[in-house]
Every structure is written in C-alpha cells, then in structure tokens.
Amino acid sequence: MTDMDSTELRCVTLRRDLTELQGLLISVASRTGVHTCPSWRYPDRPAWHLDLPALLQQELEVEEQNQDGTRELTLLLELIVDRLVLLLLTVERFVSGASEWWRGGVAPPDRDINGSSVSVSLAARWLWERLITSYGRQEAPEQDLQKGIKKDMGAQDATTQTGSWTGSLCSSCMSTQTGMRVVCDAVMKLCQSQQLPSCLSQLRSDVGQGPGHPTDTSRWAANMARDLTRVMRHMERLEGEVVPLKAELEQEKQQAADIAASLRNAKAELNSTVRRLQSDHERTVQAMDKERLEVIREKVKCEEVIQQHQETVRCHMSTVSNLELKLRASETQSRARIQEMEKALEGEILRARKAKKDLEGAWERVRDTKAQAASQTALANNLQKHVQAVLGKQASLCDRVAQLDTECEQLREDLGMSEEKREGLVSEAAFSAKACADLREQLHSAIELARQEEKRREEAEEAIMDRERALSALQEQQRLLICHPELHTPTELIPEYSGDVLGDMERHIQANTTRVRILQSENSRLSAAIHKLRQRLPKPTGRVGGT
C-alpha cells in the first residue's frame, strides 16, 4: 500500500471519527445544554456555531496546491481536538452543576476560557478535579445510603436480589439502572455479533425485565467489565489477525500493480506492433504498387522498343528484298545485254572474218576498197570500244552487287542483334513478371500476417474487456458487502485454481481486500461502541454511586 493510499484511509477514518464525535456532542448538549465557549481551532468563533463540513471544504480549497493529503489530515486532527475540548468542557460544566445541585447549593460560574489557551489535557484535568470534588462532597450521603442498603440486604435473600425488586427506587437509581440496562444490551449484542460468551445475558435472564435491587448495580458493572475485557481481548486478537492480512494485502496490491503495469506494457507493445505492422504493410503495398507501375511502364517501353525494332527489321527486310529483286533484275538485264553483246560480237567477228576473207580474197581490191576498209576498221574499233564499255559496266555492276551483299550481311547482323535484344527484353519481362508474382505472394503473406495480428489484437481486447467486466462485477459485489455487512457470512474457503495465474491472483486480491474491509468496518463499529460505552459508563470505584 502506498503512502497516498494510507493517507486517504486515515483521512476517511478521521472524518468518520469527527462525525461520530459531533453526534456525541449533540447528544450530550441535548441533555446538559449548550456550553458557550470560543473554539480551540478558531478562537474568534463560538465552538457550537461552527459548520464543520463548510470549514473543511473551505480550508481544502485554499490549500489546493497540497497534493499529498497531509493538509487534510492535519486539519481533521485539529477539528477532532477542537471537538474533544468542547466535549470535555461541556461534561466538566455539567458535572460541576450536578454536584452543586445534589449538594443543594448553586452551580459555580463558568470558567473564563480564551480560545486556543485551553488544551485537551487542561480540559481533562478540570473534569478530573470536578469529579474528585463532587465525589468528596458526596461521600457522606453515600455512607448513609450504604447503611440503608445494608439494612435492606439483611432483610433479603439471594433469590430476591437476583429477581425483580418490588421496592421503590429514586429517580436517579431508576435512570442509572435504565442506562445500565441499555449499555448492557449493547454489550450483549456486541458479544452475540462476535459469537462471544456473555456474563450479562445470564444475569439479565436472572434479573428479568422489572426494576432490580440497588445492589445489583455492582453485579451489572462487574459482569459488564468482564464482557468488555473479553471484547477487548477479542479485538486485540482480531487486530493481530488483521496486521498480517494488511501486509499480505499490500503485497498482493503491489503484485496486482506490477501485473497491471505488465499488462499495460504488453498492450502498448501490442498496439505498437500492430501500428508498426500496419505501417510496414502500407509501405509494402505502396512499394509494390510503385514497383508494379514501374514494371508496367518498363513493359510498355519494352513492347514499344520491340515494336520499333520489329518495324525496323521489317523495313530492313523489305529493303533487302527490294534490293535483292533489283539485283536479280539488274543481273538478268546485264546477262541479257551481255548475251546480246556477245551475239553481236560473234556476229561482228564472223563478219570480220568474212570481211578478212573477203579482204584476203579481194586484197587486190583493197586499194580499190581502201576507203571501205578504213570505214570498216573504224566500225570495228567502235565495236571494240563498245565491248570495252559494256565490260566496264559489267564490272561496275559486279561491284554494286558486292556492295549490296555487304549491306545485306550487315542488315542480317543488325537483325541478329535485334533478335538478341528482343530475347533479352523478353527474358527481362519474364523476370519482372516473376518478381511481380513474388511481390504479390509477399503482399498476400504480409496481409495474412496482418490479419492474424489483428485477430490476436481483437482476442486480447476481448480478454481485457472480460477481465474489466469481471473486475466491475467484483467491485459491485464488494461495494454491496461493504454497504450491507450483514449479508456477509465469513467462511473459510479453499481457493480454487483454474490454471490462469493472473485471474487467480486477481480473485485472491479481491477476496483479501473484501475480507480486510469487512474486518475494518467491524473493527470501527466495535471501537465506536467501546468508545461510547467508556464515555457513558462511570469508572469503577468499588462503591455504589448515583443514589
């Protein structure tokens, strides 16, 4: 248990004591009258005109900065001292007036009291002096009364002393016996509630409901002292049992606080893990979307490049086919021309041979035909030149064909490189598709993992909600037991272990808390009853007084 909890518990106890003390003051004042004196805590105000709840609230509002509760504790103690001083002064004034009235004199005047100059010890000393003085003044009447009682006792036997007395009693004896019976009833009820044997119950059954003999008062007081001693021993034994329970309760509360802290840490870690997984999932989805878009763009670009290369290859193929067709056509034309030229040359050669034969045959006519021969020679030279030109054209056509073959080889090489590039792009596209498929699988696995984590988080939240509902139910049950302690029947239960360590510890803590609070409530009731009995009963002096 922390210091703050201990301070709050003390404040609650002091508030209850202050309330009971104020009620006792009102009860005493209703019989003795109001004693007008200044307050010990507030010397400038009358003690009977203090509004304690309003003053307490006002003082606490002024001291709001004090957060540890010590100011409230100090204020409650000061108010209790103030009420005790007022109670002692009221009783002292009543005792003084009663003693003078019994003696047939006049009550002494009130003391001159100046606020906080009166302490609890001083008021108690004044009360003691009044009691001693009144006791000394009443010794003579009491001796006469004792003589009369002895005469009456000599005329009675033991049975008449325990039975109902038929004689007459004075008003003081009657009030004393009535008060004694009320106190004895309270003590007997207290013993019955704690299941303790009572000497007063047997005496009450012997005496009956009628008025008793004046000498029975001493028996009532002796039996009451025995019962009160038994109750005090029982209270001490209960306090001895409560102390280890308090220590165990503090340990259980510390363990519960540690477990709650670990639960909060686990919940925070779970939430951080879920948030981290969600952020990782979002980043992964965004990265995969970006990569998918990039792959799609690369694929589109590759398809465009492949289409461009295919168009280029088609253009090159069409150009090569056109060139091949042109080459074939030119070769055909060249061959046809060469054949025609060869045929023409053969014809010319034949004609030249024939002309030579004619020249040989008609050498003689050469001179005659010299001009014709010269013309024929010029024609032959022209034909030879034409043949040489045709041969040059054929050589140039062959060179052109060689160039076209070279260009065709280059186009074939470019086509092979384009095919290799296309195959590389196709392989890259396949690799990109495979990577995209892998990324999709990773995305699906991440989504599945996120779903599992979400399911675990929901299960954890459901478990936490179940624990909170169980805790609220236990708190409600605890509140009912505290408000109505008569419903509680203390029995020793064997703890059940369900396997859930946390749940078992929480139930054990709640059970111990309930037991301690019930014992504390019973202890406070017993203390209040004993306090009231001590204030109402006179101290045992060995003499029978009040008559």
Report the distance separating Cα 375 and Cα 357, nearest Å. Answer: 17
Sign of the four-CA dihedral 42, 46, 48, 51: negative
Q: What is the mean pLDDT of residues 91-104?
A: 60
Which has the closest alpha carbon to 84: 136, 137, 20? 20
Residue 411 lies in a domain: no
Residue 505 in tokens: 């510890």
Report residue 404 CA to chain centroid gap.
Answer: 87
Most confident of the ranges 125-134, 137-146, 530-539: 530-539
Asked whether the beta carbons of 366 and 359 are under 8 A apart, the reply is: yes
Q: What is the CA radius of gyration of the chain?
A: 64
Sign of the four-CA dihedral 256, 258, 264, 269: negative
Q: Is the pLDDT of residue 28 over 70?
A: yes
**Which pLDDT belongs to residue 163?**
45
- Could you please report the per-residue DSSP string of 420-440? HHHHHHHHHHHHHHHHHHHHH
Q: Is the pLDDT of residue 160 over 60?
A: no
**Which pLDDT belongs to residue 212?**
59
Q: Is the pLDDT of residue 102 over 50?
A: no
**Which pLDDT belongs to residue 541?**
54
Asked whether the beta carbons of 227 and 200 are under 8 A apart, the reply is: yes
Q: Which amino acid is at 86?
A: L
Q: What is the mean pLDDT of residues 82-103?
A: 69
Burial state string for 58-70 with b = 16 or more CB within 10 A and e = fewer than 16: ebeeeeeeeeebe
Q: Is 271 helix (H, G, I), strand (E, B) or coil?
A: helix
**Which pLDDT belongs to residue 371?**
66
Residue 398 lies in a domain: no
State the total domains in the chain: 1
Q: Is the pLDDT of residue 466 over 70?
A: yes
Residue 44 in tokens: 């400038």
Q: Is the pLDDT of residue 119 over 70?
A: no
Residue 228 in tokens: 């009160």
- Encode pLDDT of 125-135 as tens digits: 666 666 666 65
Residue 15 lies in a domain: yes
Q: What is the mean pLDDT of residues 11-37?
A: 77
Residue 21 in tokens: 């003390």
- Encode pLDDT of 335-385 as tens digits: 776 777 667 767 767 776 776 676 566 567 656 656 665 676 777 777 778
Report the distance separating Cα 495 and Cα 98, nearest Å. Answer: 60
Residue 232 lies in a domain: no
Q: Which DSSP state fits 538? A: P
**Which pLDDT belongs to residue 204?**
67
Cα distance from N-terminal residue to C-terminal residue, the chain? 53
Residue 111 in tokens: 């003391």
Residue 414 lies in a domain: no
**Lowest pLDDT segment from 78-82, 352-356, 429-433:** 352-356
Q: Which residues contact 291 (CB under 8 A, 6 or more apart)?
A: 435, 436, 439
Longest dimension (CA), the chain: 224
Residue 139 lies in a domain: yes
Question: What percent of the chain has pLDDT above 90?
Answer: 0
What's the pLDDT band for 146 if we cut at 50, 70, 90? very low
Q: Is the pLDDT of residue 150 over 50?
A: no
Q: What is the mean pLDDT of residues 377-395?
A: 76
Question: Domain range spanning residue 107?
Answer: 1-154
What backbone phi and psi angles, to 5 degrees, belong to 211? -70, 140
What's the pLDDT band for 155 if we cut at 50, 70, 90? very low
Q: Which helix (H) or strand (E) holds 334?
A: helix 216-361
Q: Angle between the 216-361 and 501-536 helix axes, to the nearest 10 degrees?
A: 160
**Lowest pLDDT segment from 16-20, 212-216, 269-273, 517-521:** 212-216
Asked whether the beta carbons of 338 and 394 are under 8 A apart, the reply is: yes
Residue 484 lies in a domain: no
- Encode pLDDT of 235-281 as tens digits: 777 777 777 877 888 888 888 888 888 888 888 888 888 888 888 88
**Which pLDDT belongs to residue 468?**
81
Residue 361 lies in a domain: no
Q: Centre a 10 Å sphere on the Cβ of residue 354 and count the other Cβ atoms it contains.
A: 11
**Which pLDDT belongs to residue 130?**
65
Residue 8 in tokens: 């709050």
- Encode pLDDT of 489-506 as tens digits: 555 555 555 667 787 788
Q: What is the overall mean pLDDT for the chain?
A: 72
More confident site: 213 or 394: 394
Report the distance separating Cα 400 and Cα 328, nearest Å. Answer: 12
Helices (H) and strands (E) in the chain, counts: 11, 0
**Which pLDDT belongs to residue 329?**
77
